């Protein structure tokens, strides 16, 4: 698994992140790229990209044929040692742990066994009330969210299930009583669900397999874009309702995307397969040409052409078009922030906390909690991860032994320049389609929206902010 964090007490090298972005721009579907194509895929400045490509060429990490570049044979030989004896699914456990800690619910990894799905890895919730899950548990493919992901992305599984038939599923209550589940077996309904999963990039399920249980799952892809596993969260419906799906799905999709990368999954291959884990929920209408947008409006007459041009929206989006736009933009902003911050060994939200310390070091933990406007447990988890990465320390306050003082390490101070550069890239990606005047207007209007939300919620509109709500993450 690629180690995303720097060794204890050290700052990650920015140049390594740039080299990695160059190497990751190649894929089985695009094994040869020109220099302009590499620049476009990495977003690196022309001079930087050219210099690094030449260095990689000199070291044998890249080979050149005419104007095209390929992964060098010397790098292939080095990679062979890592592939020998490599079990990709074992690399997913850290992402299950992260997802469990971030959501508080049981996170599972599933593989397909014929017409059934099986739990092969899990990170169990610490809640006393939970949906019991054990390694080796199986269920029919059409019975819950994980199975629906298999049916959506594995054509073989889909055709086999259709040929074998889709019988109703029965489950058991907590008292052991056998009951009929709510799993749909109508072929037309399953066709509709399959298309919805492929559009969204995830599946959701409520009380289909077991009464009182809900789940959200997303695909994990291999190097050629093939579905290798499904990653999901399972919880009682008291803590997981349809209203919780958008936020939870964003976390599940992000974890599945991280897992795909960890086992060598190719972003280009995922998109070729009909989905992009990093833009789950954004379907073909999002990238449609104007003519396609008109067709989309015809399919959903209640949705405005402008809204449809940015993605097929549920009819309920017209109840709050601004809220829907904020949700979609915020989700993609967080995806971009996560991809960029990963170069520094950070998760979205952690950089906001570090910014506060760069402004004023050696601060009481309670001050940081107030500045971030988050609950204490979330900030504590964030600080624990930053401390494990060697970026901060926590020591007892000399005046109040019950309080902790948070301080930057040398590695934490050294991150400031790198985060500034990464946030510059985040800003550029966010406003790339806006003029300077539109950027100023958007900033002013978002400030007004924040003030309004502050009044509606009674929460202060603080300066800490976050990368699309990233500060609210326990990352």
185: pLDDT confidence band, cut at 50, 70 and 90? low
What integer pLDDT is reported at residue 187 of this predicted model? Answer: 67
Question: HSE (CB half, 13 Å, CA atoms) of 348?
Answer: 25
What integer pLDDT is reported at residue 70 of this predicted model? Answer: 93
Mean pLDDT of 2-26: 66
What are 411-454's pLDDT values in tens digits? 899 999 999 999 999 999 898 888 888 889 999 999 889 888 88
Rounded Cα distance between 41 and 63, Å, is 18
Comparison of pLDDT for 228 and 302, the residue scoring more: 228
Domains and CATH numbers, the chain: 14-83 (1.10.10.10), 88-272 (3.30.450.40), 283-319 (no CATH), 344-472 (1.10.10.10)
What are 93-122's pLDDT values in tens digits? 888 998 999 899 999 999 888 888 888 888
81: pLDDT confidence band, cut at 50, 70 and 90? low
What are 366-404's pLDDT values in tens digits? 889 888 887 787 888 889 889 888 899 999 888 877 788
What are 189-237's pLDDT values in tens digits? 778 888 889 888 899 998 887 788 899 999 999 877 889 899 999 999 9
82: pLDDT confidence band, cut at 50, 70 and 90? low
394-426 per-residue burial string, b: 16 or more CB within 10 A, e: under 16: eeeeeeeeeebbbebbebbbebbebbeebbebb
Whether residue 33 has pLDDT greater than 60: yes
What integer pLDDT is reported at residue 299 of this predicted model? Answer: 37
Q: How far is CA 115 from the centre of its chain?
A: 28
Mean pLDDT of 138-152: 87
Where are the extended beta strands (E) located within 68-145? 68-71, 106-113, 116-123, 138-140
Decide if 259 contacts 95 (C-beta within 8 A): yes
Q: Token digits for 311?
A: 């993605």
| CA distance readout (Å), 435 to 319, 438, 468 | 29, 5, 21
Whether residue 344 has pLDDT greater than 70: yes
What integer pLDDT is reported at residue 469 of this predicted model? Answer: 42
Q: Token digits for 415?
A: 């991150």
What are 42-73's pLDDT values in tens digits? 888 888 999 999 999 988 899 998 889 999 98
* Nearest CA-CA partner of 246 in 315, 150, 152, 326: 326
What integer pLDDT is reported at residue 263 of this predicted model? Answer: 81
| pLDDT-above-90 percentage for the chain | 23
DSSP 67: T
Q: Are strands 178-180 and 33-34 parallel, antiparallel or unpaired?
A: unpaired
Would you call 363 helix, strand, or coil by DSSP?
strand
Please classify residue 230 by burial: count the beta carbons closer than 10 Å to its beta carbon, then call 0-12 exposed, 13-18 middle and 19+ buried: buried
295: pLDDT confidence band, cut at 50, 70 and 90? very low
Q: How far is CA 120 from the centre of its chain?
A: 21
Mean pLDDT of 293-299: 36
262: pLDDT confidence band, cut at 50, 70 and 90? confident
Residues in the chain: 475
pTM: 0.45
Mean pLDDT of 129-141: 81
């Amino acid at each position: 698994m690629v180690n995303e964090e720097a060794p204890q007490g050290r700052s990650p090298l920015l140049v390594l992140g740039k080299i990695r972005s160059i190497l990751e721009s190649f894929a089985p579907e695009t094994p040869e790229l020109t220099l302009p194509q590499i620049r476009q895929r990495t977003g690196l400045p022309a001079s930087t990209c050219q210099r690094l490509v030449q260095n990689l060429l000199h070291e044998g990490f890249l080979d050149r044929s005419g104007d095209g570049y390929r992964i060098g044979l010397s790098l292939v030989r080095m990679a062979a040692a890592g592939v020998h004896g490599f079990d990709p699914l074992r690399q997913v456990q850290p992402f299950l742990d992260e997802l469990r800690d971030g959501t508080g619910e049981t996170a599972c990894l599933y593989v397909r066994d014929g017409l059934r799905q099986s739990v092969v890895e899990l990170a169990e919730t610490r809640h006393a009330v939970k949906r019991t899950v054990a390694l080796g548990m199986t269920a029919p493919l059409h019975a819950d969210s994980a199975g629906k992901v298999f049916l959506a992305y594995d054509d073989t599984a889909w055709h086999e299930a259709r040929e074998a038939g889709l019988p109703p599923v029965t489950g058991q209550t907590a008292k052991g009583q056998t009951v009929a589940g709510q799993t749909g077996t109508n072929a037309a309904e399953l066709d509709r669900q399959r298309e919805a999963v492929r559009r969204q990039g995830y599946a959701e399920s409520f009380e289909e397999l077991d009464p009182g249980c809900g789940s959200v799952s997303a695909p994990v892809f291999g190097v050629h874009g093939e579905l290798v596993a499904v990653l999901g969260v399972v919880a009682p419906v008291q803590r997981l309702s349809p209203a919780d799906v958008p936020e939870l799905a964003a976390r599940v999709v992000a974890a599945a995307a991280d897992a795909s990368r960890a086992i060598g999954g190719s972003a280009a291959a995922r998109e070729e397969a009909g989905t992009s884990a990093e833009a789950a929920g954004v379907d073909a209408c999002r990238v449609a040409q104007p003519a396609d947008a008109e067709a989309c409006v015809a399919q959903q007459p209640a949705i405005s052409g402008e809204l449809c041009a940015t993605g097929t929206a549920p009819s309920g989006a017209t109840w709050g078009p601004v809220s829907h736009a904020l949700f979609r933009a915020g989700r993609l902003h967080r995806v971009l922030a996560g991809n960029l911050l990963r170069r520094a060994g950070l998760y979205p939200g952690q950089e906001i906390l570090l910014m506060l310390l760069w402004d004023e070091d050696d601060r009481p933990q309670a001050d940081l909690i107030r500045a971030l406007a988050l609950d204490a447990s979330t900030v504590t988890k964030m600080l624990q991860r930053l401390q494990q990465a060697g970026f901060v320390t926590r020591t007892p306050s000399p005046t109040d032994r019950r309080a902790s003082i948070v301080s930057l390490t040398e590695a934490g101070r050294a991150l400031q320049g790198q985060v500034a550069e990464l946030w510059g890239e985040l800003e550029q990606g966010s406003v790339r389609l806006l003029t300077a005047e539109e950027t100023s207007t958007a900033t002013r209007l978002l400030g007004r929206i924040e003030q309004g939300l502050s009044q509606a919620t009674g929460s202060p509109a603080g300066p800490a902010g976050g990368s699309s709500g990233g500060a609210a993450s326990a990352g």
